[in-house]
Amino acid sequence: MTTLSAEVPVAGNPAISEEEQDTLKDKYLTFHIGNEDYGISIRFVTEIIGMQKITEVPETPVYIKGVINLRGKVIPVMDIRLRFNMDARAYDERTCVIVVNHNDIAVGLVVDTVSEVVDIPSGSIEPSPVFNTAKGHFIEGMGKIADEIKMLVEINRLLYDDATKLEELEQRHPENK
């Protein structure tokens, strides 16, 4: 079921001018997981899609739900709830996949809902407090917007820490690069 698709300009895309890339600097795509608000730098986001059929892949961590076929490319899919050691929840019509590109590798991130793109200047971001939780490990800072706080996700740690099986999965599916 694909109910939502939005193309998002990505930094590093040769079709985007340096001036346009500068406008992406302080922009974050915000999303919800449970009752908490998160943000991810828009420069990593390529598109947002509705849930699709996910093909399970054996011997991957529980948070790697499998792969999807996105316009002929095999994309690994990670459930952010499970990556944060939160309880699983049934996917519904508001569940989305945020497709990110990091180091020329596309990965789908399952979130409860997507909110909006917001500006969070670097002066409004405070370092993340020290958390002794899995979720806290993936937070690079706290973005302040008026009286709200958005936890900003550190994409590199989210995708590659704890020896995830993503690299192995990508090696088995080189067409994803």
Higher pLDDT, 64 or 2: 64
Distance in angstroms (rounded) separating the CA atoms of residues 150 and 37: 5
Distance in angstroms (rounded) separating the CA atoms of residues 99 and 153: 14
Q: What digits encode the pLDDT tens for the residues 73-106?
A: 999 999 999 998 899 999 999 999 999 999 889 9
Distance in angstroms (rounded) separating the CA atoms of residues 113 and 50: 10
pLDDT value for 169: 43
C-alpha distances out from residue 48 to 77, 87, 89, 131, Å:
13, 23, 20, 29
Written as six digits, the tokens of 63 are 């948070």
Higher pLDDT, 160 or 86: 86
User: Is the pTM here over 0.95, yes or no?
Assistant: no
Cα-flanking dihedrals φ and ψ of residue 55, to 5°?
A: -90, 120
Q: Determine the topology of domain 5-176 in CATH.
A: OB fold (Dihydrolipoamide Acetyltransferase, E2P) (2.40.50)
pLDDT value for 24: 80
**Helix/strand/coil (H/E/C) assignment for every residue in 155-173:** HHHHHHHHHCCHHHHHHHC
Domain chopping of the chain, boundaries? 5-176
